[in-house]
Amino acid sequence: MAHMTRRAFTKFVGATGVLGPLGVAGFPAIAGAAQGRVVVIGGGFGGATCAKYLRRANPRLSVTLVEKTAQFITCPFSNTVLGGLRTLKSLTYGYARLRDRHRVKVIQDTAQAIDPAAHRVKLQGGTTLSYDRLVVSPGIDFQWGAVPGYDEAASQRLPHAWKAGPQTLLLRRQLEAMANGGVVIIAAPADPFRCPPGPYERASLVAHYLKTHKPRSKVLILDAKEKFSKQGLFMSAWAEVYPGMIEWRASNAGGKVVRVDVKEMSLETDLGKEKGAVINFIPPQSAGQIALRAGLANDKGWCPVHQQTFESTMHKDIHVIGDACIAGKMPKSGFAANNQAKVCAAAVAALLQGKAPGEALLLNTCYSLIGPHYGITVAGVYRPSDEGLVEVPGSGGVSPSNAPAEFRKREAEYAAGWYASIVSDIFA
Partner 1 sequence: MRQTFWTAVSVVVLGVLCLPGSSTAGEMNPAVLADHCAACHGTDGKSPGVIPSLRGKSSSYIVQYMKEFKTDERKGTVMNRLAKGLSDEQILAVAKRLAGE
Q: Residue 328: name the closest of 397, 398, 392, 251 by CA.
A: 392
Choice between 13 and 381, CB closer to partner 1? 381
Choice between 89 and 263, CB closer to partner 1? 89
363 binds partner 1 (CB under 8 A): yes
Do residues 219 and 241 lie in contact, with contact meaning Cβ atoms separated by under 8 Å?
Answer: no
Q: What angle do CA 165, 362, 49 make, to 5 degrees?
A: 40
387 binds partner 1 (CB under 8 A): yes
For 382-400, letters b (16+ CB in 10 Å) and e give: bbbeeeebbbeeeebebbe
272 binds partner 1 (CB under 8 A): no
- Choose one: 63-71, 83-91, 107-115, 403-411; the region binding partner 1 (CB under 8 A): 403-411
133 binds partner 1 (CB under 8 A): no
Among 5, 112, 236, 308, binds partner 1 (CB under 8 A): 308
Do residues 226 and 252 lie in contact, with contact meaning Cβ atoms separated by under 8 Å?
Answer: yes
Choice between 252 and 421, CB closer to partner 1? 421
Choice between 157 and 409, CB closer to partner 1? 409
Strands 37-41 and 62-67, sheet pairing? parallel
What residues from 209 to 238 belong to the interface with partner 1 (CB under 8 A)?
227, 231-232
Min separation Cβ 336 and partner 1, Å: 9
Min separation Cβ 427 and partner 1, Å: 10
Radius of gyration of the chain (CA): 22
299 binds partner 1 (CB under 8 A): no
Min separation Cβ 116 and partner 1, Å: 23
379 binds partner 1 (CB under 8 A): yes
Min separation Cβ 57 and partner 1, Å: 8
201 binds partner 1 (CB under 8 A): no
Residues 6+ apart with CB under 8 A from 282: 160, 161, 162, 186, 187, 188, 189, 193, 199
Residue 283: cis peptide before it, omega within 30 degrees of 0: no
Residues 6+ apart with CB under 8 A from 268: 257, 258, 259, 260, 261
What residues from 35 to 94 belong to the interface with partner 1 (CB under 8 A)?
53
124 binds partner 1 (CB under 8 A): no
Whether the CA torsion 352, 53, 375, 247 is positive or negative: it is: negative
What residues from 317 to 346 belong to the interface with partner 1 (CB under 8 A)?
329, 335, 338-339, 342-343, 346
424 binds partner 1 (CB under 8 A): yes
Cβ-based neighbour number of residue 200 at 10 Å: 27
Min separation Cβ 231 and partner 1, Å: 7
- Choose one: 124-132, 159-167, 277-285, 394-402; the region binding partner 1 (CB under 8 A): 394-402
Counting residues that bind partner 1 (by CB under 8 A) gives 55
Among 168, 174, 280, 365, binds partner 1 (CB under 8 A): 365
Do residues 95 and 426 lie in contact, with contact meaning Cβ atoms separated by under 8 Å?
Answer: no
Do residues 127 and 12 lie in contact, with contact meaning Cβ atoms separated by under 8 Å?
Answer: yes
Among 25, 179, 394, 402, binds partner 1 (CB under 8 A): 394
| DSSP-derived secondary structure letter, 189 | P
Cβ-based neighbour number of residue 139 at 10 Å: 22
419 binds partner 1 (CB under 8 A): yes
Rounded Cα distance, 49 and 364, in Å: 15
Q: Interface with partner 1 by CB under 8 A: which residues?
A: 53, 227, 231-232, 308-309, 329, 335, 338-339, 342-343, 346, 356-363, 365, 377, 379-381, 384-387, 390-399, 407, 410-411, 413-414, 416-422, 424-425, 428
